[in-house]
Copies of this chain bind each other. A is one copy, B any other.
Amino acid sequence: MAIDLDTGLLRNFLVCTRLGSISRAAHALGRTQPALSQQLRRLEDIVGEALLQRAATGVSLTAAGAALLPYAERILALSGEALAGVPRAKLSGRCSVGILEDFTGTSLPAAFADFGRLHPDTTLELVALLGSETRTALDSGRIQLALCDAEFLERPPRWSVRVPLLWAAAENFDATIDPLPLVMFSEPCRWRSLAFSALSVAGRCWRIAFESGSLTAIHAAVRAGLGVTTLLPTAMAQGVVSAPVSQSLPALTDIEIGLARRPESEGDVLTNAVEGMLKQLA
């Protein structure tokens, strides 16, 4: 028998009671409804009592659930306090990280700012690079860490995440136009060829409608309806939305985003901390 109540399960339970519905809670937690339904049942199995009364209109607390709720809140609060209460080592020094422009629109810059506020003696630098520039920047010591397409790295990455490459277009863009107008990064861009070959395999014609080396320009061109492009999910923007795979837009392969580290920085405490932060964000 499980001795301890899992905090993850308690968190789910809490959100379900707050929102009054498993479906809504699932959406809020970024899960599907069946997943949450199962987890909830797992918690009930551990406790040995039904915690939520299911109905067609949503869920409500049972007596056992009402009794558990304050414990859940207290445990989760303590967990948060614990994380905040642990003394952090004093960090100092300088660390530069190279990233793809695609990641500049994410929570990554904000996380870097938070880190800097927490450790005033450090200087963190975020450098937007092309994948092809990464190796040189690492070798020269310009950056200590790099997050980019694993294909561009010299050796296997220390760790990596798979990210889908998506078609992006303006809302209501008609992707059936033939030949398909493409908005693309200028060479060297590895993802260009991925798009081209996917289109070839699907027997689809295309033409380059616009080309630029800047993500902002790409965004603007797509937003203006000049054509479709391929982007990472993190690079979508206002007025530029992911277009579903269909007859006219073939599926694209996933991209492996890997982390590389300058060997000379091995053992550096600040670099360790920054790498840990990146891994948690990924």
Chain A's interface size range is 35 or more
> Is A117's CB within 8 Å of the partner chain B?
no
A81-108 interface with B by 8 A CB criterion: 81-83, 85-89
Closest partner residue, chain B, to A81 (CB atom) = B71
Copies of this chain in the oligomer? 2
**Least Cβ distance of A92 to chain B in Å?**
16
In the complex, chain B residues whose CB is within 8 Å of the CB of A71: 78-79, 81-82, 85
Dominant SS at the A interface? helix
In the complex, chain B residues whose CB is within 8 Å of the CB of A281: 1
Q: Are B6 and A89 in contact (CB under 8 A)?
A: no
Q: Are A79 and B87 in contact (CB under 8 A)?
A: no
Q: Do A273 and B8 contact each other (CB < 8 Å), given the known contacts A2-B280, A78-B74, A78-B75?
A: no
Q: Do A82 and B5 contact each other (CB < 8 Å), given the known contacts A45-B279, A49-B89, A67-B87?
A: yes
Which residue numbers of A lie inside 8 Å of B, CB to CB?
1-8, 10-11, 45-49, 63-64, 67-68, 71-72, 74-76, 78-83, 85-89, 273, 276-277, 279-281
Given contacts A2-B280, A48-B276, 4 further A-B contacts (CB under 8 A): A47-B83, A49-B86, A49-B89, A64-B86
